[in-house]
Amino acid sequence: MKPGVIHVRPTARHCQGCRSCEAVCSLRHYDKVNPQATGIRVKEETIGNFKITVCLQCNGMYCAKACPNNNILRSSFSGAVYVDDNCVGCGACAKACEISAITIVDMGQGPKAVKCDLCGGLPQCQSVCPRNCLAW
Query: What residue ranges of the chain have pLDDT lower than 50?
Result: 12
Q: Given this model, what pLDDT does residue 54 score?
A: 93
Q: Given this model, what pLDDT does residue 7 score?
A: 65
CATH number of 7-135: 3.30.70.20
Residue 73 backbone dihedrals phi, psi, to 5 degrees:
-130, 165
Q: Given this model, what pLDDT does residue 132 score?
A: 87
51 alpha-carbon distance from chain centroid: 13
Look up the pTM and report it: 0.87
55 alpha-carbon distance from chain centroid: 5
Q: Given this model, what pLDDT does residue 12 score?
A: 44
Q: How many CB atoms lie within 10 A of CB 77?
A: 9
